[in-house]
Structure 1
Amino acid sequence: MTIDFRPVILAGGSGTRFWPRSRKARAKQVLTLDGERSMIQRTVDRLQPLAKPEDVWVITNDLLSDTICGQLEVVPDEQVVCEPAARNTAPAAGLAALIIERSNPDAVLGMFPADHVIADEPGFRAVIERAIQVAASGETMVVLGVTPTRPETGYGYIETGHVLEGGMARVRRFTEKPNQERAEQFVAAGNYHWNSGIFIWSARTLANAVREHLPEMTPLLEEIAAAFGTPRFQEVFAENYPKCENISVDYAILEPRSAKGEHHSNLYCLPANFGWNDLGSWAALFEHQHGMQVNTDEQGNVSESTGSLAFDARNNYVFAPNKFVALVGVDDLVVVETEDAVLITSRHHSQDVGKVVKELAARGRKDLI
């Protein structure tokens, strides 16, 4: 039996993590941070062997939609759905499920962030193919869990219980970003995985989960879904969607579902060891390129520039594509130059770049955000 697989690419974003390169209208997913293709183009590229372009859906916003449509010429424009207000992943995923359920409730949906890096793409597709088979077999939800390589405090974790054939395990619970001590305990325990943010389930399964766990939001999304493809769609979307709760899939559906107990939740975790990285900061991009030995010198500096020299300088990240860069006596810096701004921080503090964007907004500097 052929399974109808529909990838749903979650591509909202406010453009804060990679400021000053990223802006509201140029968020991370449309940037070429890792090669010649943008992050969202690479996301769709790696899914092409599993789904036809006309089966791909993208949930984004008005500021990014024109760029995304231009970058994704293979995806039908009507399936690039623009949120009238930012409402996190639960309303976005729920709306996609309710729209697709109306045409094929048995279709299997894959929820994919638009801005992740996958090193082993054949391995990625093999795991997704297995997840699709599991999700098509019944009212099951499959989450992809990455085996942690370090006690990372910036990721959510999945605790697994009983291990089934082929390494798939039942989910016990989800834990949001832990402190350092708890992260170390999770890694030592051996049955915790990083939450990749990739979920596989049928349209019916997700739609029913939305109805169960988000009863107040469901009528709003149902009305939007019913209007999809009609002249009233934009009007209904603009009226109803901002009324939806701002909440993630994890909080809204997966955590309450896991609370039923691992043998009653129908939640499964598949190990996802295919070189996953969510590139959540300049430091993460440095670590990725450093690990891949891309633009990296003998002292561990990563430089995207017209040329560089380093004297007693180690493990710095520099983005200055139109400049020659000299590093002297500095370690662990991030230096990013664009036409209208320069960022200088340490790799350790690169997660705090969002504070700059927040302060620029407070000062009314819309030209820089």
Structure 2
Amino acid sequence: MDENQPKHAETAAPKFAAVILAGGSGTRFWPRSRKASAKQVLALDGEQTMIQQTLERLLPVAAAEDVWVITNNLLDDTIADQLPAVRRERILSEPAARNTAPACALTAFLLEKTEPDTVIGIFPSDQVVKDKARFADILRAGVKIAAKGEAIVVLGITPTRAETGYGYIELGGPVEGPDGVPVHRVKRFTEKPNKHFAQQFFTSGNYRWNGGIFLWSASTLANAIREYCPDMAFQLERIAAAWGTDEFEEVLASHYPLCENISIDYAVLEPRSARGEEASGIYCLPGDFSWNDLGSWAALHEHVAGRDFDEVEECNIFEATDPLHVELDSKGNYVFAPGKVVALVGVENLVIVQTKDALLITTRERSQDVGKVVRKLIEAGREDLV
């Protein structure tokens, strides 16, 4: 093994802190998802909300006292109620939405003051994982790698289709990993390719979806922000200096909105990978734990259908409806209509979602465009509907 590969000598387990990103408004799940009841606090998949499921699968690896949540002031109290095991002071509300780089880096700068070697894991709050035991095993292996030097670990999901809505990770050479977990270096990241390149990536077999799950030490992430986003680092330094004081909320409100509005992929991962496959210190672990990013109504249909039926594409999904429903020459539809008897006649691949004040009708193919409806409502002055 060369000196640049991650070493895995058996030592005391590194300190691990999990950061759950829960600040989005989930506009593609309108009309169920609203600003004050976004999809991460909704039970879209079973009885638990999305953020409750996220915490549950982290607890075999992270202690509840070491979990942080980055959200907003419309959701923070709801999240605190849903996650009573998480310390209230570690549920932080962004004063302004600034994409994922400041949200990821905030905890790194806070922890760096006292625990710079703590490994920080970044976890979106709107994903589902079926194989929780495998997820925990991969996570433990990733923590061991991220604890060594300036390593960065990403979890890569094996693509099942030529998806244009995800970022991609191009795998480099294999290296020896801990606990028998396969590990690859990372060549480069590509954000949301067009259909042509997505098909090339899918066909090649050497690409993985970027699931937005990252591991690095507090000092590694903080130093990367200092290197690639110095203006952001300046603001986060000021915020971290106020942590634990009565002035923290005021300083956060003053300095956080001045951070650059940029994703962690563009801010750190892409420039770091430009160092070259061996020099970047970025490693990819397999996300082979039956992962799904619930990013649209179509994705939810796929997930529920795959869980409950053999014919995923053709089955009709009825959620929250009366037990009685009628299906005549209809297939591939998703319906959410609380308490209603629903009849489908001669329709295919529709999404129908009813709430007390809104009705959405679209196709599964166009469900990614539902967020545009929210923009139209805002333009029309109907903030009451968003």
Amino acid at match of 1:237: L
Q: Deviation at 1:167?
A: 2.3
Q: Deviation at 1:163?
A: 1.2
Q: Deviation at 1:34?
A: 0.4
Q: 2:307 aligns with which of 289, 292, 312?
A: 292
SS in 2 for 1:95: helix
2: distance between equivalents of 1:245 and 1:207? 15
Does residue 52 (structure 1) correspond to residue 63 (structure 2)? The answer is yes
Amino acid at match of 1:300: C
2: distance between equivalents of 1:293 and 1:44? 24
2: distance between equivalents of 1:335 and 1:259? 44
Within-5 A mapping of 1:1-369: 1-165=12-176, 166-293=181-308, 300-304=315-319, 305-307=321-323, 308-369=325-386
Q: Deviation at 1:161?
A: 1.0
1: distance between equivalents of 2:251 and 2:377? 33
Q: Deviation at 1:293?
A: 1.4
Residue 146 of structure 2 contacts residue 217 of structure 2 at CA under 8 Å; is this kept in 1? yes
Residue 296 of structure 1 contacts residue 303 of structure 1 at CA under 8 Å; is this kept in 2? no
After superposition, the Cα gap between the structure-2 partners of 1:262 and 1:299, relative to the gap in structure 1 and judged at 3 Å, is closer
Residue 95 of structure 2 contacts residue 256 of structure 2 at CA under 8 Å; is this kept in 1? yes
> Aligned pair count?
369
After superposition, the Cα gap between the structure-2 partners of 1:298 and 1:44, relative to the gap in structure 1 and judged at 3 Å, is closer
1: distance between equivalents of 2:76 and 2:310? 31
Q: Deviation at 1:146?
A: 0.5
Q: Deviation at 1:81?
A: 0.5
Residue 309 of structure 2 contacts residue 315 of structure 2 at CA under 8 Å; is this kept in 1? no
2: distance between equivalents of 1:26 and 1:296? 32
SS in 2 for 1:57: strand
SS in 2 for 1:42: helix
Amino acid at match of 1:72: L
1: distance between equivalents of 2:344 and 2:288? 36
Q: Deviation at 1:298?
A: 11
Q: What do residues 180-228 of structure 1 show as CA deviations (whole Å, max 9, x unaligned)?
A: 1111111111110000100001111111111111111111101101111
Residue 302 of structure 2 contacts residue 313 of structure 2 at CA under 8 Å; is this kept in 1? no
Amino acid at match of 2:98: R
2: distance between equivalents of 1:134 and 1:168? 10
Structure 1 stretches of 5 or more lacking a match?
Answer: none
Amino acid at match of 2:84: E
Residue 289 of structure 1 contacts residue 295 of structure 1 at CA under 8 Å; is this kept in 2? no
Q: Deviation at 1:92?
A: 1.0
Q: Deviation at 1:296?
A: 8.8
Query: What is the TM-score when the length of structure 1 is the normalising length?
Result: 0.98
Residue 3 of structure 2 corresponds to none
Residue 313 of structure 2 contacts residue 332 of structure 2 at CA under 8 Å; is this kept in 1? no
Q: What do residues 167-189 of structure 1 show as CA deviations (whole Å, max 9, x unaligned)?
A: 21111110011111111111111
After superposition, the Cα gap between the structure-2 partners of 1:242 and 1:299, relative to the gap in structure 1 and judged at 3 Å, is closer
Amino acid at match of 1:324: V
1: distance between equivalents of 2:308 and 2:22? 28
Q: Deviation at 1:137?
A: 1.8
Residue 299 of structure 1 contacts residue 315 of structure 1 at CA under 8 Å; is this kept in 2? yes
1: distance between equivalents of 2:182 and 2:74? 41
Query: What is the TM-score when the length of structure 2 is the normalising length?
Result: 0.94
Q: Deviation at 1:299?
A: 5.3
Q: Deviation at 1:321?
A: 2.0
2: distance between equivalents of 1:298 and 1:192? 25
Q: What do residues 141-160 of structure 1 show as CA deviations (whole Å, max 9, x unaligned)?
A: 00000111111111100001
2: distance between equivalents of 1:242 and 1:180? 35
2: distance between equivalents of 1:253 and 1:326? 50
SS in 2 for 1:322: coil
CA RMSD of aligned residues (A): 1.4
Percent identity between the two aligned chains? 59
Amino acid at match of 2:232: M
1: distance between equivalents of 2:358 and 2:114? 48
Q: What do residues 121-141 of structure 1 show as CA deviations (whole Å, max 9, x unaligned)?
A: 101011000000101122100
2: distance between equivalents of 1:119 and 1:294? 15
Q: Which runs of 4+ in 1 moved over 3 A?
A: 294-299
Structure 2 stretches of 5 or more lacking a match?
Answer: 1-11
After superposition, the Cα gap between the structure-2 partners of 1:244 and 1:368, relative to the gap in structure 1 and judged at 3 Å, is same
SS in 1 for 2:338: strand
Amino acid at match of 2:322: T
